[in-house]
Amino acid sequence: MKIAQSRVTARGQLSVPAEVRKRLELVPGSILEWEAEGDRITVRRVGQHTFEDVHRALFSQEPQPRSLAVLKDGIRQHVRDRQARR
């Protein structure tokens, strides 16, 4: 199904049509990946990773659930320790 067309400039540049930008949720700085399969070229947006994907890549274990009281105590202790250094 054809969505839109683009024209290549003399410098080899092209504009991404608004409908394509909207569907791919492209914003300035978005990176596109081009993949060749025979005579077909596929373009897709790169970097659509969730926070969970990044967390799994950085940390080997899942975080343990903690109560709100435990989290607040940890924040208080961090603030105390930080103030003690001054």
Type and span of the H or E element at 76: helix 68-84
What is the full per-residue pLDDT of the chain (86 aa) written as tens digits? 788 899 999 999 999 999 999 988 888 888 899 999 999 988 888 876 667 777 888 888 877 899 999 999 999 999 999 998 77
Amino acid at the residue 17:
P
For 32, the 3-state DSSP assignment is: strand
pLDDT for res 48: 66
Q: Using only C-alpha atoms, what is the Rg of the chain? A: 23
Tokens for 77, please give them.
């202790």
Largest CA distance in the chain: 66
pLDDT for res 31: 86
For 51, the 3-state DSSP assignment is: helix
pLDDT for res 9: 95
